[in-house]
């Protein structure tokens, strides 16, 4: 599933065309490049402009081929070519126009999806940014005098508490005055508010207890009163529920987590810090049911020992461990802890305590497995829990591999009708990567020229060498000319895996080869002076003899010529040259297709995708089936005309219900982490409308028939994928030429899962697989295992029209059918979130668009079955028109998309992974949007003349390539660091109220106020900074086999993804 968008978020890509070598000359001793050897003919003239205008107007997208009970739809990727020759305007001065209204509404709907609009607001003093000392003091007084205490406690105690909070926590901002705007001052204000909220939660709103707990926390010595120590633990627990809360706890009380000589730059400090956070989360889970009047534990170690009897005997703490501490109370656990659902939290608490003491500690397998689950947000274990579902879904990877290896196409198709025996890897077998793994067209072409350049240089050197015989010089000249012609044609038509020389190409090769050879008469044998007379026909026969065997060019042919060219100089082909040729060959092959029959080959293909997937790309493979009942398609009403010999009109209701289930695997990466998603997507569709036919049957016994048909439908689809997602963190200092950390970690995850069984074989069940992952990644914060859920809805209206002409017998007729269907998507909403996981995302998208599908098909009208005593429309049963062969495409496609994604790592919002996208399907809308925000973009790019040139060049490049309907042109905005910190603060405050099952009216108003602040922060333009302009190409292949008339039973396999064509970024 596609979570990241594109490579554009990492910045615009640059073309790395290598310097070309010398090609040849008209002189025997001096070889110079041929002028314009690889220059492409400029697209100019009325015809070229007309072709470009037609392409931009029609915006053809995909191509569909139809056969009986079979259809295949695919999109051809843009071929690799040099960067278009664009000449930006010197002084573009577009008027500042009103931006399109649709994206703004969609962005607001995304905010509504993440944080629903509140029905009420708090009458109390609300928090406003930037936070100031005066506002914070006013808020603290209002909080303790009204909301938390409700007048139940002495005001003197309230004043003492607020005074202490101000003196101990706001000191850093008080010195700068009430109007402080510095980050340090705002951080201190935020810390004071979070500590105040935690004190209220820990002490039940008692200001006296809160005051004592605050002083005890700030003091480095243990308090004598057990009640105060218990309140301190509750205070730590309330703060440690989020990453920003833990930051606050460690900022005001660093002695809570002493650093015992941990190495700088290692993972140990983060492991220890995360252990404290997850220990506090486990404590909060265990203390949630504790009665208010019951004495509470005074430390995490005491709580672990207190809860240890809840576990089975074999899973309890070992002698000498923290769980068996000397101060552990004997006997059974308290009633409020005696819940089997607490087992996972208790075991995770044991493991976290061990890691707090020593980040390199090793835990028993059952504790390591529990900690792996707990740190990834799973709070319960056992059948039916999210943890069990995630384990089983991850184990499905091996099931899919076995099915893809052992099941034939026919069996998969038959089983797929009913959604069984699905395997997404079978789609990878059939279609490969469908071009999704290709980079920028100019980057791909640069790899091609990088492979050609050294071979051309070596051939030119052999032409200059005096030791080379004349016959070999002729061969080198022809081969050099052939490579240049190959390069020229690929630059003009687009790079492809094979190229065949036409007769005109061979003439061009001969014409290019002649100037590379000397046409002077050789010296006489006796050494007398050379005859300076020129012979224009001297080399013609030799060149013709070398040109005649040429058929085409491939990377394999280039490799052979390179071997022979370097052999002439007595050397071997340099390894970099051979590597470049191999790279071009693999990129042109462009596919990772595991061979059937071998389970390991299917899993190796997953590893190959991880290794070769371009950065910030992803690919999705799916397989499944659809079943349901449908109405009569309007074009099938033509069958009625065979029983009516007069002009007639037929109108019937059209309705249906379909449901499908598909297995999905998604692999890719974004700016912050890589991911592997394994899950299922359930979709349901309900539609209704009318269909009609008007036609005439004529000739003897109705031998011929002509007619038109049409229909109108209103449909609604809903569903979405859900499953397990493995996320691995990227490195911040990625080194060129070395695999990024996310690839290395993901490959280790796959290896650990594949070798989990006996003798390092495949695991036999999910438990073995989970145990192997826990041994390697139980405390690694760079690896996250998430349970991902989603829901999406689509509302659309479609209208269709077709015309048919058939001739034949009285029983059956054949003929062409031309049809067009206009589909308008009024609203498509998608919501995706990670319910668990250390690296989590929250995504909301809203889309709208329209497209027209056109098709031409050769069909047969099957004979109907007369109905006894029937008349009119009921005179016969109608059967569908059966297509024999057809072809179609999609035209006039347009769309407007808005996306909001919030990305978190270890509980913190990551600004670079939190973005807002605005996308368009036409260049006109994209250009209007860019012109509207032109001044902002010039500022983001630096505000110089070079910034103006880069922006104009990007727009001109997009215009040159925006000729297809599968292009997505958009802008990405990243969240600012300041907005991310403020949202962390607001979400920390929000989680306190979200956990209250029955909030009071005051608490409900407070939560509504926080929701309003979050919505305002997400919707504000000041929270975002412009990051990239990009052009994406939506690619994919889908094959459908089965019935689609009345009874729907179809098996579908698909590969899809997006590829970036161009990008511009300030970075």
Distance CA 254, CA 269 (A): 13
Residues 877 and 846 placed together within one structural domain of the fold = yes
Residues 871 and 963 placed together within one structural domain of the fold = yes
* pLDDT above 80 (res 37): no
- 867 belongs to a structural domain: yes
The mean pLDDT of 134-140, rounded to a whole number, is: 87
- 468 belongs to a structural domain: yes
The mean pLDDT of 4-31, rounded to a whole number, is: 33
Position 33 confidence tier, pLDDT thresholds 50, 70, 90: very low
* pLDDT above 80 (res 17): no
Domain boundary among 570, 589, 608: 589
Residues 199, 152 contacting (CB under 8 angstroms):
no
- 10 belongs to a structural domain: no
Nearest CA among 104, 170, 111 for reference residue 136: 170
Residues 709, 741 contacting (CB under 8 angstroms):
no
The mean pLDDT of 359-366, rounded to a whole number, is: 91
* pLDDT above 60 (res 536): no
Distance CA 462, CA 476 (A): 7
* pLDDT above 50 (res 42): no
What percent of the chain has pLDDT above 70? 80
* pLDDT above 50 (res 124): no
Q: Is 324 exposed, middle or buried (0-12, 13-18, 19+ CB in 10 A)?
A: middle
Q: What is the pLDDT of residue 647?
A: 60
Nearest CA among 677, 691, 586 for reference residue 636: 691
Give the range with max mean pLDDT: 98-102, 373-377, 437-441.
Answer: 373-377
Q: What is the pLDDT of residue 842?
A: 94
Position 524 confidence tier, pLDDT thresholds 50, 70, 90: very low
- 37 belongs to a structural domain: no
Residues 522 and 670 placed together within one structural domain of the fold = no
Residues 572 and 636 placed together within one structural domain of the fold = no
Poorest-pLDDT segment among 25-39, 427-441, 614-628, 758-772: 25-39
Each residue's pLDDT tens digit, 585-601: 888 876 788 888 889 99
Residues 534 and 624 placed together within one structural domain of the fold = no
1055 forms beta bridges with: 621, 1037
Distance CA 684, CA 660 (A): 6
Q: What is the pLDDT of residue 173?
A: 44
The mean pLDDT of 339-355, rounded to a whole number, is: 93
- 832 belongs to a structural domain: yes
Each residue's pLDDT tens digit, 1043-1060: 877 788 889 999 999 998
The mean pLDDT of 724-735, rounded to a whole number, is: 82
Domain boundary among 589, 615, 646: 589
The mean pLDDT of 53-72, rounded to a whole number, is: 80
- 380 belongs to a structural domain: no
Q: What is the pLDDT of residue 145?
A: 79
Q: What is the pLDDT of residue 583?
A: 87
Higher pLDDT, 210 or 40: 210
Distance CA 551, CA 547 (A): 9
Residues 681 and 805 placed together within one structural domain of the fold = yes
Q: Find all residues with CB under 8 Å of 624, minimum gap 6, and list them.
A: 416, 419, 422, 660, 661, 662, 663, 680, 681, 1051, 1052
* pLDDT above 70 (res 23): no
Q: What is the pLDDT of residue 421?
A: 78
| Number of domains the chain contains | 3
Position 526 confidence tier, pLDDT thresholds 50, 70, 90: low
Residues 676 and 585 placed together within one structural domain of the fold = no
Poorest-pLDDT segment among 1-5, 273-277, 820-824, 876-880: 1-5
Residues 662 and 726 placed together within one structural domain of the fold = yes
Poorest-pLDDT segment among 93-102, 477-486, 884-893, 939-948: 93-102
Residues 692 and 578 placed together within one structural domain of the fold = no
Position 873 confidence tier, pLDDT thresholds 50, 70, 90: very low
Give the range with max mean pLDDT: 176-190, 215-229, 1011-1025.
Answer: 1011-1025
Distance CA 528, CA 378 (A): 95
Higher pLDDT, 808 or 777: 777
Domain boundary among 256, 287, 308: 256
Number of Cβ atoms within 10 Å of the Cβ of 315: 16
Distance CA 341, CA 325 (A): 24
Higher pLDDT, 832 or 171: 832
Each residue's pLDDT tens digit, 995-1025: 888 887 878 888 888 999 999 999 999 999 9
* pLDDT above 70 (res 409): no
Position 442 confidence tier, pLDDT thresholds 50, 70, 90: confident
What percent of the chain has pLDDT above 90? 46
Residues 502 and 647 placed together within one structural domain of the fold = no
The mean pLDDT of 154-174, rounded to a whole number, is: 81
How much is the CA Rg of the chain, to the nearest whole Å? 35
The mean pLDDT of 365-382, rounded to a whole number, is: 94
Average pLDDT, rounded, for the chain? 82
The mean pLDDT of 272-276, rounded to a whole number, is: 94
Each residue's pLDDT tens digit, 297-309: 999 999 999 999 9
Residues 911, 1023 contacting (CB under 8 angstroms):
no
The mean pLDDT of 857-880, rounded to a whole number, is: 59
Position 44 confidence tier, pLDDT thresholds 50, 70, 90: very low
The mean pLDDT of 741-757, rounded to a whole number, is: 93
CA 406 to chain centre: 30
* pLDDT above 80 (res 168): yes
The mean pLDDT of 13-35, rounded to a whole number, is: 33
Residues 893 and 837 placed together within one structural domain of the fold = yes
Residues 534 and 620 placed together within one structural domain of the fold = no
Q: What is the pLDDT of residue 324?
A: 44
Higher pLDDT, 716 or 3: 716
Give the range with max mean pLDDT: 93-102, 798-807, 913-922.
Answer: 913-922
Token representation of residue 103: 């994206």
The secondary structure of residue 146, as a DSSP letter, is I
Each residue's pLDDT tens digit, 896-949: 999 999 999 999 999 988 999 999 999 989 999 999 899 999 999 998 989 998
Q: Which range marks the domain in which residue 192 is found?
A: 129-256
- 908 belongs to a structural domain: yes
Nearest CA among 820, 748, 664, 727 for reference residue 1: 664
Q: What is the pLDDT of residue 153?
A: 74
- 857 belongs to a structural domain: yes
Give the range with max mean pLDDT: 410-419, 729-738, 804-813, 1035-1044.
Answer: 1035-1044
> Which contiguous run of DSSP H or E holds residue 796?
strand 783-808
Residues 515, 34 contacting (CB under 8 angstroms):
yes
The mean pLDDT of 464-471, rounded to a whole number, is: 86
């Amino acid at each position: 599933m596609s979570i990241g968008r594109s490579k554009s978020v990492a910045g615009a890509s640059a073309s790395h065309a290598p310097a070309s070598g010398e090609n040849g000359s008209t002189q025997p001793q001096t070889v110079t490049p041929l002028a314009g050897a690889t220059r492409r003919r400029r697209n100019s003239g009325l015809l070229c402009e007309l072709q470009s205008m037609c392409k931009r107007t029609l915006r053809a997208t995909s191509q569909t081929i139809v056969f009986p009970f079979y259809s295949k739809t695919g999109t051809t990727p843009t071929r690799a070519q040099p960067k278009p020759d664009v000449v930006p305007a010197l002084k573009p001065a577009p008027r500042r126009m009103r931006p399109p209204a649709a994206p703004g509404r969609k962005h607001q709907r995304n905010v509504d999806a993440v944080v629903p609009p509140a029905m009420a607001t708090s009458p109390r003093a609300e928090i406003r940014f930037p936070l100031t000392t005066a506002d914070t003091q006013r808020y603290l007084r209002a909080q303790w005098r009204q909301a938390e205490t409700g007048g139940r406690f002495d005001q003197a105690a309230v004043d003492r508490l607020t005074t202490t909070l101000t003196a101990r926590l706001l000191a850093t901002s008080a010195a700068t005055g009430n109007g402080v705007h510095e980050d340090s001052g705002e951080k201190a204000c935020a810390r004071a508010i979070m500590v105040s909220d935690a004190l209220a939660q820990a002490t039940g709103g008692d200001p006296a207890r809160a005051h004592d707990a605050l002083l005890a926390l700030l003091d480095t010595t243990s308090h004598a009163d057990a009640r105060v120590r218990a309140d301190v633990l509750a205070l730590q627990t309330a703060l440690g529920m989020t990453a920003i809360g833990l930051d606050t706890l460690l900022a005001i009380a660093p002695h809570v987590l002493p650093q015992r000589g941990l190495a700088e730059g290692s993972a140990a400090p983060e492991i220890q810090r995360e252990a404290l956070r997850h220990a506090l989360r486990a404590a909060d889970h265990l203390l949630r049911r504790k009665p208010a009047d019951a004495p509470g534990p005074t430390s995490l170690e005491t709580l672990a020992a207190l809860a240890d009897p809840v576990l089975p005997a074999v899973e309890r703490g070992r002698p000498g461990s923290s769980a068996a501490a000397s101060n552990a109370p004997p006997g059974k656990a308290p009633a409020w802890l005696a819940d089997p659902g607490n087992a996972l939290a208790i075991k995770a608490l044991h493991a976290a305590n061990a890691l707090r003491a020593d980040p390199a500690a090793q835990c028993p397998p059952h504790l390591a497995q529990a900690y792996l689950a707990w740190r990834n947000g799973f709070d319960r274990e056992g059948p039916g829990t999210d943890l069990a579902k995630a384990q089983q879904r991850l184990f499905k990877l091996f099931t899919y591999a076995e099915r893809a290896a052992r099941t034939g196409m026919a069996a998969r198709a038959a089983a797929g009708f009913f959604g069984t025996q699905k395997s997404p890897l079978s789609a990878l077998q059939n279609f490969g990567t469908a071009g999704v793994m290709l980079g920028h067209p100019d980057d791909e072409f640069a790899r091609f020229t990088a492979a050609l350049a050294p071979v051309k240089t070596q051939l030119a050197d052999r032409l200059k060498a005096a030791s080379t015989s004349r016959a070999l010089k002729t061969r080198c000249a022809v081969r050099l000319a052939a490579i240049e012609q190959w390069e020229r044609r690929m630059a003009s038509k687009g790079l492809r895996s094979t190229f065949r020389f036409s007769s005109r190409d061979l003439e061009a090769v001969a014409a290019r080869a002649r100037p590379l050879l000397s046409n002077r008469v050789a010296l006489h044998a006796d050494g007398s002076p050379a005859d300076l007379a020129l012979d224009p026909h001297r080399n013609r026969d030799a060149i013709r003899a070398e040109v005649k065997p040429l058929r085409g060019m491939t990377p394999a042919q280039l490799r052979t010529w390179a071997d022979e060219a370097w052999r002439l100089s007595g050397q071997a082909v340099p390894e970099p040259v051979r590597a470049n040729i191999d790279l071009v060959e693999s990129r042109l092959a462009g596919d990772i297709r595991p061979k059937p029959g071998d389970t390991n080959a299917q899993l190796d293909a997953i590893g190959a995708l991880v290794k070769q997937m371009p950065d910030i790309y992803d690919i999705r493979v799916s397989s499944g089936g659809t079943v349901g009942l449908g109405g009569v398609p309007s074009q099938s009403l033509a069958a009625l005309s065979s029983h009516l010999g007069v002009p007639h009109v037929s109108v019937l209701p059209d309705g249906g219900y379909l449901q499908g289930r598909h297995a999905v695997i998604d692999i890719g990466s974004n700016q912050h982490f890589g991911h592997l998603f394994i899950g299922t997507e359930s979709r349901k569709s309900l539609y209704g409308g009318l269909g009609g036919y008007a036609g005439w049957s004529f000739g003897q016994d109705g031998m011929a028939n002509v007619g038109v048909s049409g229909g109108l439908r209103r449909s609604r689809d809903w569903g979405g994928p859900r499953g397990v997602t493995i996320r691995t963190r990227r490195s911040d200092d990625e080194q060129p030429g070395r695999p990024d950390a996310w690839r290395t970690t993901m490959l280790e995850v796959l290896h650990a899962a594949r070798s989990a069984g006996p003798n390092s074989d495949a695991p036999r069940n999910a438990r073995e697989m989970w145990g192997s992952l826990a041994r390697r990644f139980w405390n690694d914060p760079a690896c996250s295992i998430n349970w991902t859920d989603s829901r999406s809805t689509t509302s659309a209206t479609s209208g269709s029209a077709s015309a048919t002409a058939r001739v034949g017998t009285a029983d059956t007729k054949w003929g062409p059918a031309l049809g067009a269907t206009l589909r308008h998507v009024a609203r498509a909403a998608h919501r995706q979130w990670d319910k668990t996981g250390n690296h989590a995302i929250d995504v909301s998208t809203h889309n709208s668009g329209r497209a027209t599908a056109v098709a031409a098909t050769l069909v047969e009208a099957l004979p109907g079955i007369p109905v006894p005593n029937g008349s009119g429309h009921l005179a016969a049963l109608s059967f569908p028109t059966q297509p024999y062969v057809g072809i179609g495409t999609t035209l006039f496609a347009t769309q407007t998309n808005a996306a909001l994604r919030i990305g978190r790592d270890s509980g913190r919002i990551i600004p670079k992974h939190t973005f807002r996208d605005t996308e368009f399907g036409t260049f006109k809308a994209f250009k209007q949007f860019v012109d509207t925000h032109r001044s902002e973009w010039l500022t983001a790019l630096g505000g110089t003349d070079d910034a103006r040139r880069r922006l104009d060049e990007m727009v001109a490049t997009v215009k040159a390539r925006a000729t297809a309907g599968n292009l997505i042109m958009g802008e990405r905005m990243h969240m600012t660091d300041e907005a991310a910190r403020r949202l962390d603060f607001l979400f920390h405050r929000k989680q306190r109220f979200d956990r209250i099952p029955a909030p009071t009216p005051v608490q409900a108003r407070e939560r509504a106020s926080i929701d309003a602040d979050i919505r305002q922060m997400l919707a504000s333009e000041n929270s975002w900074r412009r990051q990239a302009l990009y052009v994406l190409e939506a690619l994919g292949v889908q094959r459908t086999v089965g019935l689609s008339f009345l009874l729907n039973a179809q098996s579908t396999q698909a590969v899809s993804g997006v590829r970036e064509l161009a990008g511009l970024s300030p970075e």
